[in-house]
Every structure is written in C-alpha cells, then in structure tokens.
Amino acid sequence: MRRATLLTAALMAGSLAQGQSWNRDYYRNQVSAGLGFALPGRDLKTYYQAAPAWSFGYGYRPVKYLQLDLGLDGAYNAARVKDYLEVPGLGYLRIRDFQMFLPLGGRVVAPLAKGRVEFYGGGGAAYARTAESLRQPGYYLRVDCPDCVARDGWGYYALLGGSVALDRAQHFRLGVTTRVYRVDTSGPLVGTTPAVNTSDQWVNTYFGLTFSF
C-alpha cells in the first residue's frame, strides 16, 4: 500500500512538472486577428484594385513546431462595384463588393530566443468568393438584393510570416503574415471581371495580434 501511494505521488508530481514545462515551452491554441491589404493578380490584375483587408484565424499546435490552421480573410471593394438598387420608400441603396477567403492548412513554426520570436511558413487548400452586397437600411430591416451576384472557387494558398512576444509569458504576440492565394473562380461577372472563368491570385498581407493559451 505504501509503495503504491509513493508511486502515485511520484506520477502526479511528474505529470505536474511536465505540464508546467509544457506551458513554458509553447501553447497549443492560437487565436489571431489582423488588418492589412489585398493585392489582386493574374487574370484580375488589370480589372481589380488593391483593397483594405482583415483576417481572423485559429491555430492548434499538436506539437511544438507544427500548427494546424483555419482562418477567414476578407477584403472590401476590390472589384470597384458602385451600383445602386432603388427600393420604394427607402430610395437608392448602395451595392458594393466583398472578397472572402477560407484558408485551411498548416504551418511549420521555427521559434527563436526561447520562443520570444517565431518565424513560420506553410500552406494548404483555399476557398475564395467575390460577392456583391447591398447596404442594409437598418439592423431590424433587411432588403433582398435581386441584382447582387457572386462568383467562387477552390484552390490553394502559401503562407509566410513572423511574430514577436509582447509579454514575458508569451500570451500576446505581434506579427505580420502574408498569404498568397491561387484560386480558379467561375460565376456571373462581378465588376469588370474579364471572363466567366478566371485564374485568380491574391497577395494578402496582415499586421495582427495573436493570443496564445
């Protein structure tokens, strides 16, 4: 009985020490948000323009040097759509375009200076969508937009970036990330898209904050 008690205590102490060491070494969960800009290329280069962009993402690290990523990126008015829809009783409501990107993949992480600085690169599959959206007259009043159209498609992305810890515990990190999207899209014309089917490229760069836990 005494040996079993001592063995149990030793295992509990070892587990606690391992957990404390793990917490100092790296965190499994990474939640990030950032602002930046999106640059269109390939078939879109002549017809679309650079646009303000934003990014939200979640990453999970099963091991120290590998992170699995799921994100949602967006850009505003890259297709330069400035149409209006006449709504009886409400006048003219503006129609603008939005770009949405869904990256699903992973990255390899290279920590330096005991984890205070990190560099990373990776990639994976990507879904992209460009859609027209009607500016709604109010929060409780929704108006349909029969004139709004959208186009979308699947492809892949590559990622490169780095970050630096802002606090001693390394919960908060400030960084910059660039994602290069290559996606083939199809659908109705949005803005001055040259064809129904296009090979799109986007170079999206974000400056953001990451919370690790």
Q: Which domains does the chain have, with CATH numbers?
A: 27-212 (2.40.160.20)
Query: Are 128 and 101 in contact, with CB atoms under 8 Å apart?
Result: yes
Strand, helix or coil for residue 9: helix
Helix (H, G, I), strand (E, B) or coil at 20: helix
Residue 44 zone, left/alpha/beta (φ > 0; ψ -120 to 50; rest): alpha
- Over the chain, what is the mean pLDDT? 87
**For residue 21, is pLDDT > 70?**
no
For 70-97, the pLDDT digits (tens) are: 999 999 999 999 888 777 877 788 889 9
Q: CA–CA distance from 22 to each of 26, 63, 99, 163, 206 (Å)?
A: 6, 10, 39, 20, 29
> For tokens 């802002």, what's the residue?
166
